[in-house]
């Protein structure tokens, strides 16, 4: 007998008929001898409807009230799902964030979970009931309702699974699992059967939006086995798990891309120690995250340095005026911007024990005539910034070049 | 500086624009130097939408889950109203049943309030904020969400007013106040300025649906001054208050009617002691409430008795089979039913000190050729059952016959 957490997103509970499907799946799991905790999101469209009302009422709605408002979406889903389980012949009970309790800090609209009490869930399971937990929500020390931010139901699910020591946390979604790259641009993309937390973190943060990155961090921290799978069929999906459970021998697990960054090129600053430090310290003061950084070497012909970095496109507009101000104060000749760039990354645990992976990546891109504008690496990832028009070509050539199209070893 | 509770029903918070009006009215009250607690219902139509979803999901939805579901309606209103107050330049905070706490029993969908903690409301008021309380909801001893049943927001408002010792509880509605009778059938109906709890109870239970009867009971028990008034203008409405504050010298305060009852006529039962007792004991066992009861006197020509009583039309269908069974066992010749009846009542504190009021009522009806089928009286009420076709005629002739059309003394 296993203890299983099953999380269903907004699409999976988007209609009365789909809620019934969720109920039947949970009952089937229970009848197969397991104890089941469901985590449900708001019905698709409901959160947007509620936030729309809020913005009709107030130009800048209060964060505490936004959370009290938005949390009703998951409360409705949880109550309806519990009713559906009962209607299908099972036993169930809805549990809200303040009932369980899911303790969070008081950072309304983006609260972080501090602790989860398991006793109310176990009482429910001990009565033979399916516990239907409203995702996305918690309660702060004062009893105010908080929410975990968009996609927070994944976080709720993994955190609840960790708190009650669940054997597995199943994340039901509208895709079959995690893919080696985006199937929309690379037809040979293949579903990954097993992947380590570390790889999933690199893939998630790079834009493969299957799992909320925070939920993967929590899963890794507490060793929760996460199973990403489709709510529309019974096929096994992708198991996100500890490194030693993930398969050996694979060098590169996936190819990700991210069009969300813009390149900033600060030309001709003084070539003295501390210039780069000063530049990035002052940018950090403005609370803007910088990703890839390249400092050009100076030559005798041009003794002035130039620095390239990327930052989120959404930050660029507000950052431009003071980036230019900082650059001027550092003696820069000019600042150039380029939003037509894409960051293409290869991710894989195997990189740690295989040399030459980065070189192979550069060679594959070079063979396609793709110029690399910046490079960033981590222990298990290599990222290259290239012109956006090469996105599909770069992803496909890397995916096939690293043998991801074939059956996995 | 007064402490004021203002309750707004579903129509009054039925749109974003109306929610803004509620917010402005509360801010005006606060700026006039008062401390304000708002109680809000779900936006009109929302409760029905939620219950509709529940009945799509389950034929007989679980009562606990129905409450968790339905309570979201008031939670949404409370959060939006708090945002609206802030948007209009005021300070506000929404408070839910489980936050305040409003303790109830665990009779889901029709819970009764046991106690209300005032501290959270006072903390909010002490910060200079308007407390926006979600009506209709509470929490049981286990932390389950409960609701007070339809119209329960009136009850929330009066109970909160009692708990915090409010100077007045204003019930905003879509009418100007309590009328001497239904203005739709009697053009001379007049708004009542002041009325006693006792009279209001008799009028409410008889169908003048301005105030939930339970809220009047609580108001009477704790001496809460209730002011029923329109949310669409600033005119004073009707003050429901203690007898000594209500105006003296009025004999009849209002004329009510109720088409919700059916008449049952049990013909020819044995005329022996205990027959009526046995009949009504066995009906009470079935949990059906009986209202007016008349036992005919026997004559030498027909030594068998007959018993007439009324019960709710909604109970009649299920009650018929076993009423007939009970009647047969008591030797009854037959049982007749009549649903085309109306109960017309006159209500007034003054009746206690004036004799001949009932007789005057019978005379007025007789003068119009209206036959009385049954009579019931309380200390401050006389009710007559007549054929439904006489409803308008009976109400108008009583209203004018008791001088209610003119200016009140």
- Among B80, B93, B133, B136, pick the best mutation site for testing chain A contact (most A Cβ within 10 A): B80
Q: How far is CA B8 from CA B83, B120, B147, in A?
A: 16, 21, 17
- Name the band, by pLDDT with cuts 50, 70 and 90, for residue A139: very high
Cα Rg of chain B (Å, integer): 24
> What percent of chain B lies above the pLDDT cut of 70?
95
> For residue B349, how far is the Cα from the chain centroid?
18
Closest CA to B254 of B302, B199, B308, B215: B199
Res B154 pLDDT > 60: yes
Distances from the Cα of A164 to the Cα of A41, A78, B309, B349, angstroms: 20, 19, 60, 63
Each residue of B82-91: pLDDT tens digit? Answer: 999 999 999 9
- Beta strand A168-173 pairing with A3-8: parallel
Number of Cα atoms under 13 Å in the Cβ half of residue A74: 34
Range among A131-145, A337-351, B209-223, B287-301 rated most confident: A131-145
Residue B146's CB is within 10 A of a number of other CB atoms, namely 30
Q: How many CB atoms sit inside 10 A of residue A277's CB?
A: 9
Asked if B141 has any chain A CB less than 8 Å from its own CB, the reply is no
B83–A54 CB contact, under 8 Å: yes
Q: Decide: helix, strand or coil at residue A334.
A: strand
The token pair at B389 is 């076709």
Lowest mean pLDDT among A251-255, A293-297, B204-208, B270-274: B204-208
> Can you give the pLDDT at residue A285?
85
Residues of B with Cβ-Cβ distance to A69 under 8 angstroms: 75-76, 79-80, 83
Which residue is listed with tokens 């903690």? B117
Alpha carbon A126 to chain centroid distance?
33
Cα B341 to Cα B263: distance, rounded to the nearest angstrom = 7
A78 contacts chain B (CB < 8 A): yes
Look at residue B248 in the predicted model and tell me its pLDDT: 54
Verify whether the Cβ–Cβ distance B75 to A75 is below 8 Å: yes
Q: Is the pLDDT of residue A173 over 50?
A: yes
Evaluate if residue A338 carries a pLDDT over 60: yes
**Peptide bond before residue A153 is cis, with ω within 30 degrees of 0:** no
Closest Cα to residue B194, out of B178, B205, B207, B210? Answer: B178
Given an 8 Å threshold on Cβ–Cβ distance, is B99 in contact with A59?
A: no
User: Hey, is the C-beta of A346 within 8 angstroms of any chain B C-beta?
Assistant: no
Nearest CA in chain B to A132: B65
Q: Considering only CA atoms, which of B146, B149, B168 is closest in space to residue B158?
A: B168
Predicted local distance difference test score (pLDDT) of residue B408:
47
Distances (CA, A) of A193 to A154, A221, A253, B154, B350: 20, 21, 11, 57, 84
Write down the ipTM of this complex.
0.83
Report the distance separating Cα A217 and Cα A158, nearest Å: 9
A294 pLDDT higher than 90: no
Distance (Å, whole) CA A355 – CA A332: 38
Task: Select from B69, B70, B73 the residue whose CB has the most chain A CBs within 10 Å, as the one to mutate to test that interface.
Answer: B69
Nearest CA in chain B to A141: B99
Mean pLDDT over residues B330-335, rounded?
Answer: 90
Strand order in the sheet with B35-40: B92-95, B130-134, B35-40, B3-8, B168-173, B226-230, B238-241, B194-196
Average the pLDDT over B248-273 and give the result.
86
Mutation for testing the B interface, residue in A74, A79, A96 having most B CBs under 10 Å: A79
Q: Alpha-carbon distance A250 to A409, whole Å?
A: 7
Neighbouring-strand partners of residue B169:
B5, B226
Rounded to a whole number of angstroms, the distance from the CA of A240 to the nearest CA of chain B is: 33
Residues of B in contact with A79 (CB under 8 A): 54, 65-66, 68-69
Q: Do A20 and B57 touch (CB under 8 A)?
A: yes
B145:A96 CB<8 A: yes
Given CB atoms, is B44 within the 8 Å cutoff of chain A? Answer: no
Closest residue in B to A76 (Cα–Cα): B69
pLDDT at B336: 94
Straight-line distance from the first to the last Cα atom of chain A, in angstroms, rounded to the nearest whole number: 32
Burial code (b: 16+ CB inside 10 Å, e: under 16) for B93-112 equals bbbbbbbbbbbbeeebbbbe
Q: Which domains does chain A have, with CATH numbers?
A: 3-174 (3.40.1160.10)
DSSP 8-state secondary structure symbol assigned to residue A82? H
Provide the pLDDT confidence category of residue B93 given band limits of 50, 70 and 90: very high
Tokens coding A70: 């938005």
> Considering chain A, what percentage of its residues have pLDDT values greater than 70?
95
Residue indicated by tokens 């799946």: A25
Q: How far apart are CA A225 and CA A167, in angstroms?
A: 7
Region B363-368: mean pLDDT is 95
Within an 8 Å CB–CB cutoff, is residue A63 touching chain B? no
Task: Give contacts of B76 with chain A, Cβ < 8 Å.
Answer: 50, 53, 69, 72
Question: Is A284 in the B-facing interface, judged by CB distances under 8 Å?
Answer: no
Q: Do B83 and A57 touch (CB under 8 A)?
A: yes
Count interface pairs A-B at CB distance under 8 A. 113
Task: Tell me phi and psi for residue A305, to 5 degrees.
Answer: -90, 160
A184: three-class secondary structure by DSSP: coil
Encode A52-89: b = buried (16+ Cβ within 10 Å), e = exposed: ebbebbbeebbbbbbbbbbbbbbbbbbbbbbbbbbbbe
For chain A, the average pLDDT equals: 91
Please, how many CA atoms are within 13 Å of residue A214, restricted to the half-sphere of its CB?
16
Whether omega before B101 lies within 30 degrees of 0, making that bond cis, reads yes
CA distance to partner chain B, nearest, from residue A215 (Å): 27
Tens-place pLDDT, residues A37-80: 999 999 999 999 999 999 999 999 999 999 999 999 999 999 99
- Residues 108-137 (B) with a CB less than 8 A from some CB of A: none
The span from the CA of B246 to the CA of B253, in Å, is: 11
Residue with tokens 């090469």: A390
Å between B118 CA and nearest CA of chain A: 15
pLDDT at A174 over 60: yes
- Looking at residue A409, its pLDDT comes to 39
Tokens, residue B305: 């008795």
Q: Work out the average pLDDT over B50-67.
A: 96
Beta carbons of B98 and A94 less than 8 Å apart: no
- B-chain residues within 8 Å CB-CB of A123? none
Share of chain B above pLDDT 90, in %: 71
Cα–Cα distance for residue pair B181/B192, rounded to 1 Å: 10
Cα gap B79→A62, rounded to integer Å: 9
Is residue B32 less than 8 Å (CB to CB) from chain A? no
Tell me the two tokens of residue B286.
């079935």
CB-nearest partner of A57 from B72, B80, B144: B80
* Contact at CB, A19 and B72, closer than 8 angstroms: no
Other CB atoms within 10 Å distance of the CB of residue A200: 30
Is residue B298 predicted with pLDDT exceeding 90? Answer: no
Confidence band (pLDDT; 50, 70, 90) for B295?
confident
End-to-end Cα distance, chain B: 32
Length of chain B: 409
Q: Are the C-beta atoms of residues B92 and A68 closer than 8 Å to each other?
A: no
3-state SS, chain B, equals CCEEEEEECCCCCCCHHHHHHHHHHHHHHHHCCCEEEEEECCCCCHHHHHHHHHHHHCCCCCHHHHHHHHHHHHHHHHHHHHHHHHHCCCCEEEECHHHHCEEECCCCCCCCEEEECCHHHHHHHHCCCEEEEECCEEECCCCCEEECCCCHHHHHHHHHHHHHCCCEEEEEECCCCCECCCCCCCCCCCECCEEEHHHHHHHHHCCCCCCCHHHHHHHHHHCCCEEEEECCCCCCCEEEECCCCCCCCCCCCEEEEECCEEEEEEEEECCCCCHHHHHHHHHHHCCCCEEEEEECCCCCCCCCEEEEEEEEHHHHHHHHHHHHHHHHHCCCCEEEEECCEEEEEEECHHHHCCCCHHHHHHHHHHHCCCCCCEEEEECCEEEEEEEHHHHHHHHHHHHHHCCCCCCCC
Partner B contacted by A51 (CB < 8 A):
no
């Amino acid at each position: 007998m296993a203890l299983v957490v099953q999380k269903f997103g907004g699409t999976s509970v988007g209609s009365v008929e789909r809620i019934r499907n969720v109920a039947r799946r949970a009952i089937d799991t229970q009848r197969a001898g397991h104890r089941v905790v469901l985590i449900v999101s708001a019905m698709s469209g409901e959160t947007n409807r509620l936030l729309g009302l809020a913005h009709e009422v107030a130009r800048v709605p209060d964060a505490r009230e936004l959370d009290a408002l938005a949390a009703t979406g998951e409360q409705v889903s949880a109550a309806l799902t519990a009713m559906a389980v009962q209607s299908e012949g099972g036993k169930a009970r809805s549990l809200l964030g303040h009932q369980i309790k899911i303790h969070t800090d008081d950072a309304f609209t983006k609260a972080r979970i501090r602790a989860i009490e398991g006793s109310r869930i176990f009482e429910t399971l001990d009565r033979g009931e399916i516990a239907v937990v409203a995702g996305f929500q918690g309660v702060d020390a004062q009893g105010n309702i908080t929410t975990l931010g968009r996609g927070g139901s994944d976080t709720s699910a993994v955190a609840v699974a960790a708190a009650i020591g669940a054997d597995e946390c199943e994340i039901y979604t509208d895709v079959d699992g995690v893919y080696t790259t985006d199937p929309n641009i690379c037809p040979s993309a293949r579903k990954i059967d097993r992947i380590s937390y570390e790889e999933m973190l690199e893939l998630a943060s790079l834009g493969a939006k299957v799992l909320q990155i925070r939920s993967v961090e929590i899963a890794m921290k507490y060793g929760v086995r996460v199973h990403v799978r489709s709510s529309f069929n019974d096929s096994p999906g992708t198991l996100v798990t500890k490194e030693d459970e993930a398969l050996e021998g694979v060098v590169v697990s996936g190819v990700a891309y991210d069009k969300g960054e813009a390149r900033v090129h600060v030309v001709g600053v003084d070539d003295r120690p501390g210039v780069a430090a000063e530049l990035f310290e002052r940018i950090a003061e403005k609370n803007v995250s910088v990703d890839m950084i390249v400092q050009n070497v100076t030559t005798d012909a041009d003794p002035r340095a130039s620095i390239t970095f990327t930052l989120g496109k959404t930050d660029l507009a507000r950052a431009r005026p003071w980036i230019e101000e900082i650059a001027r104060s550092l003696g820069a000749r000019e600042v150039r911007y380029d939003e037509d760039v894409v960051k293409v990354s290869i991710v894989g645990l195997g990189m740690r024990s295989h040399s030459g992976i980065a070189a192979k990546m550069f060679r594959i891109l070079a063979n396609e005539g793709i110029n690399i504008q910046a490079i960033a690496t981590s222990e298990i990832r290599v990222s290259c910034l290239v012109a956006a028009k090469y996105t599909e070509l770069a992803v496909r050539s890397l995916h096939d070049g690293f043998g991801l199209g074939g059956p996995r070893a």
